Amino acid sequence: MTLASLADATSGDRCVVLEIAPEPAELQSRLYALGVIPGCLLEILRFAPLGDPMQVKVGSSFISIRKAEARIIAVEIQ
């Protein structure tokens, strides 16, 4: 298990969200609304051809997150 930001994860990794930085507040609120909350499990599915954005599975939903946004999400890579 490794502590990192979501931006450091690679395709196929499973991560548990530890914390989401409070700034910017709009981004934190949007991530919470999408189900990305502390304690949830994320699965990194794939990356766009140039490496950004990444497709992430959250519960039964699939979302795309840019690496700049992923940097504010602290995770434990399992």
Q: What is the number of domains present in the chain?
A: 1
Can you tell me the distance from the alpha carbon of 48 to that of 25, in angstroms, rounded to the nearest whole number?
Answer: 26
What is the domain-level CATH number for residue 70? 2.30.30.90
- Check pLDDT > 80 for residue 1: no
Q: Which domain covers residue 28, as residue numbers? A: 2-77
Q: How confident is the model at residue 58, as a pLDDT?
A: 96
Q: What is the pTM of this model?
A: 0.89
Digit-coded pLDDT (tens) for 60-76? 999 999 999 999 999 99
